[in-house]
Amino acid sequence: MSLHVTLHHRFDGFTLDAAFDAGPGVTALFGRSGAGKTTVVNAVAGLMRADKSTIRLNDTVFDAASTHVPPHKRRIGYVFQDARLFPHLSVAQNLDYATRFGARGADRAQIIDLLGLGDLLDRAPATLSGGQKQRVALGRALLSDPQLLLMDEPLAALDAPRKAEILPYLERLKAESRVPILYVSHALDEVARIADEIVVLDAGRVRAHGPVDTVLADPTLIPLFGVREAGAILPATVMAQEADGLTRLSTSAGDLHLMGVLARTGARIRLRVLAQDVMLSRTRPEGLSALNILPVTIDTIFRGDGPGVAIRLRAGEDILLARITARALGQMSLEEGQSVFAVLKASSVAPTAISGAQTAQT
């Protein structure tokens, strides 16, 4: 799948001027409120027409100077922030509403299983939780046989437990469905768990675009991500579930031990490690309660306007971010190219920051 988007549209006090390409898998549109994310997906869906635009999916042009394909002819599924289910129809009837657009019976059974909807089919939307409603809305969108799925802040209205409930279904959808997804969010925890690529929008412009692990580890983007949300994605393999409840993981920089990650031995997962949870030491520390000590190399030092400093670290074949004070940087005499040690507590990676696995509570 190849999606090309070029948009220029002027609003009162705001101009969207963005261009990007998206491939298979999940491409996240990330940015603060008002960055232009919803405008982009509405234009892709055909719900609005920009002043100037080129939107092309594979070999089909949806929008150009003399072309505008109406929404119902684009074969694009759309899941909104609110589920928008038909309140007078049961879950099964909401799903069946979409099958008139071409889905086969086998698709219906597969999607019901994929999203865990089997026990909900006879229920009315009013009796469902927020997470259940979003799963039904997602199933309805998939049953319309889309060639592209748009998801506009689908978890924004959910509380933390409901969000935790639906994220594994999104991960399973990504793994098992062949439908490419354009996923809008301003929550980095969601993006880090499910996205393959990320497009960062700021005030209507594309500030960064690329693989999610590369972009999230760019220290120059911390002002857009927020200092407390800045971090990197670390791929890992589950090596063992140990007797004391910790899980031993293998990374390209060495082994980690984390609080009970429930995944089979050999499973590939990825961890979102926040920069504020990474400590640095010039020598290998001893006598610490922290179990995880990785040898790393300082790749880039980024000095912001405040007292903090962001440091991009090469951890084996992967990247970590650390955030320390400028004073600590000076006292430790840290320089780019220097070998140091990164220290992480076993509890520093939250369960919601681990993709590809369920997690146990501490």
- The CATH number of residue 205's host domain is 3.40.50.300
Together in a domain, 294 and 207: no
CA–CA separation, 148 vs 127, rounded Å?
30
CA–CA separation, 323 vs 309, rounded Å?
6
In a domain, 221, yes or no: no
Structure confidence at residue 15 (pLDDT): 95
Together in a domain, 317 and 350: yes
Together in a domain, 236 and 172: no
In a domain, 18, yes or no: yes
Characterize the bridge pairing of strands 231-241 and 205-211: unpaired
Together in a domain, 237 and 212: no
Q: Which two tokens stand for residue 163?
A: 């969000």
Sheet of 3-11, strand order = 14-22, 3-11, 52-57, 60-64, 67-68
Together in a domain, 148 and 241: no
Structure confidence at residue 354 (pLDDT): 80
What's CA 313's distance to the chain center, in Å?
A: 22
Together in a domain, 123 and 158: yes
Q: Which two tokens stand for residue 284?
A: 């290998």
Together in a domain, 198 and 235: no
Q: Which helix (H) or strand (E) holds 329?
A: helix 326-332
CA–CA separation, 323 vs 300, rounded Å?
12
Together in a domain, 171 and 42: yes
CA–CA separation, 109 vs 216, rounded Å?
37
Together in a domain, 258 and 305: yes
Structure confidence at residue 317 (pLDDT): 96
Together in a domain, 150 and 184: yes
pLDDT tens-digit map of 160-184:
888 888 888 999 898 888 899 999 9
Together in a domain, 276 and 146: no
Q: Is the dihedral of CA 69, 71, 77, 81 positive or negative?
A: positive
Closest Cα partner for 194 from 24, 18, 8, 25? 25
Which residues is 148 bridged to in the sheet? 76
Together in a domain, 71 and 146: yes
Residues of the chain falling short of pLDDT 50? 359-362
Q: Which two tokens stand for residue 230?
A: 């800045």
Q: Which two tokens stand for residue 226?
A: 């927020």
Query: Among 216, 250, 285, which residue terminates a domain?
Result: 216
Structure confidence at residue 362 (pLDDT): 36
In a domain, 223, yes or no: no
In a domain, 208, yes or no: yes
Q: Which domain, by its residues, includes 334?
A: 231-359
CA–CA separation, 217 vs 214, rounded Å?
5
pLDDT tens-digit map of 86-145:
999 999 999 998 877 655 555 888 899 999 999 999 999 999 999 999 999 999 999 988
What's CA 356's distance to the chain center, in Å?
A: 12
